[in-house]
């Protein structure tokens, strides 16, 4: 497996050097692996810090900026960052109004963010935590107790970031973040495995002619393997799984935010074609779509495939979704 890298050991540091060179509005500490929005502590806002293993770009560092994250802590590829990174980030962004940690539900991330919260609180920083666990495919999988955190992370970070930008309190930002997570469900599909720089070859074996339904963003096993299906059937399966679970979220007839997300190697041409089928299934099931995002946002290196995330959005969530955002990977309205 050929890769556009210097060496497997330097992949994350090299990418951070590249972010620093490309985005003068970010303060990138390549050594300590913390990406901070320039001037994050000014303006008296609640801080929003996320992080996780690398390999899911643009998540999370691509979402640092006006109206979204205050800082991100990238770990090694598919490996949790360490508490020291998170504490540094919390210190760099806390204006005195506290910091919200956005944590995807993987065992390592949860442990490390919990430890970081304790350390930050010893420093006098108030910390709240939101756990993102939107993946309906499986519970208790590789890396996870309970549901995995995937595409809903983008919704949580965007909406909570807008609330923080508007001056909401730590409790208010945490509340809306938890509400968005509780109202979101995802389902992922892999057409191919991904290759990590360290391994240099596919991390799992997916035979020609088969797809993995319910795959995680590290290639964790899903619900089942089947013979390859056309896009329309994949959309029916994925949207069906999401809606079945989303039926538990009130109000059952509210509009949704829809994210049709590429895993990395699937061309945008295919993602839009897949979205046509997602939109068709949602229309057939009577689900109104308020806003749509199609593209590569929560990826899994060079995996081919996609995921669907839906969030039942009340009026406040819609308003916060529409609020201006200015990051390297998501920007509008400003």
Residues lying near a copy of itself in the complex (CB under 8 A) are found at: 2-7, 10-12, 14-23, 54-55, 57-58, 62, 77, 191-192, 208-209, 211, 228, 230-232, 234, 260, 264-277, 279, 289, 292-294, 296, 299, 301-302, 304-306, 326, 328, 331-334
Judged by beta carbon, residue 122 or residue 227, the one nearer a copy of itself is 227
Judged by beta carbon, residue 4 or residue 124, the one nearer a copy of itself is 4
Q: How far apart are CA 161 and CA 100, in angstroms?
A: 10
Identify the three-state secondary structure at position 112: helix
Q: Which listed residue (23, 56, 60, 275) is catalytic?
A: 56
Instruction: Please confirm, yes or no, whether 23 is among the known catalytic residues.
Output: no
Closest distance of CB 143 from a copy of itself, Å: 19
Q: Which listed residue (23, 60, 218, 275) is catalytic?
A: 218
Count CB neighbours of 298 within 10 A.
26
Residue 51 CB-half CA count within 13 A:
35
* Cα 135–Cα 93–Cα 330 angle in degrees, nearest 5: 50
DSSP 223-286: SEEEE---HHHHHHHHHHHHHHHHTTSSSTT--EEEEEEE-BSS-HHHHHHHHHHHHHHHHHTT
Judged by beta carbon, residue 49 or residue 211, the one nearer a copy of itself is 211
Judged by beta carbon, residue 145 or residue 276, the one nearer a copy of itself is 276
Give, to the nearest 10 degrees, the angle between helix 231-246 and helix 268-284: 50
Closest distance of CB 119 from a copy of itself, Å: 28
Judged by beta carbon, residue 173 or residue 329, the one nearer a copy of itself is 329
Closest distance of CB 61 from a copy of itself, Å: 9
Instruction: Please confirm, yes or no, whether 60 is among the known catalytic residues.
Output: no
Q: What is the DSSP letter of 204?
A: S
Distance of CA 161 to the CA centre of its chain: 13
Closest distance of CB 114 from a copy of itself, Å: 26
Catalytic residue annotation = 56, 218
């Amino acid at each position: 497996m050929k890769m556009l890298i210097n060496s497997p050991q330097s992949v994350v540091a090299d990418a951070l050097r590249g972010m620093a060179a490309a985005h003068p509005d970010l303060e990138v500490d390549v050594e300590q692996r913390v990406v901070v929005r320039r001037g994050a502590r000014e303006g008296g806002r609640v801080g929003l810090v996320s992080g996780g293993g690398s390999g899911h770009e643009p998540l999370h560092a691509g979402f640092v900026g006006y109206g979204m994250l205050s800082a991100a802590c990238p770990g090694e590829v598919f490996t949790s960052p360490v508490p020291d990174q998170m504490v540094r980030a919390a210190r760099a962004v806390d204006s005195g109004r506290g910091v919200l940690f956005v944590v995807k539900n993987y065992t390592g991330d949860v442990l490390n963010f919990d430890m970081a919260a304790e350390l930050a609180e010893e420093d006098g920083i108030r910390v709240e935590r939101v756990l993102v666990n939107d993946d309906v495919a499986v519970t208790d999988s590789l890396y996870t107790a309970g549901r995995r955190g995937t595409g809903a992370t983008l919704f949580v970070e965007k909406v909570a970031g807008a609330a923080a930008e508007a001056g909401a309190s730590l409790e208010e930002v945490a509340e809306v973040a938890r509400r968005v997570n509780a109202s979101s469900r995802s389902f992922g599909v892999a057409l191919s495995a991904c290759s990590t720089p360290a391994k240099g070859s596919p991390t799992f074996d997916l035979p020609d002619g088969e797809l993995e339904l319910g795959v995680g963003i590290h290639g964790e096993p899903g619900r089942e393997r089947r013979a390859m299906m056309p896009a329309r059937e994949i959309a029916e399966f994925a949207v069906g799984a999401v809606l079945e679970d989303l039926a538990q979220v009130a109000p059952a007839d509210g509009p949704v935010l829809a994210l049709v997300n590429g895993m990395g190697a699937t061309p945008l041409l295919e993602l839009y074609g897949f979205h046509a089928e997602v939109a068709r299934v949602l229309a057939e099931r009577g689900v109104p779509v308020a806003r749509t995002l199609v593209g590569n946002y929560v990826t899994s290196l060079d995996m081919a495939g996609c995921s669907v995330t839906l969030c039942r959005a009340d009026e406040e969530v819609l308003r916060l979704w529409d609020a201006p955002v200015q990051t390297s990977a998501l920007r509008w309205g400003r």
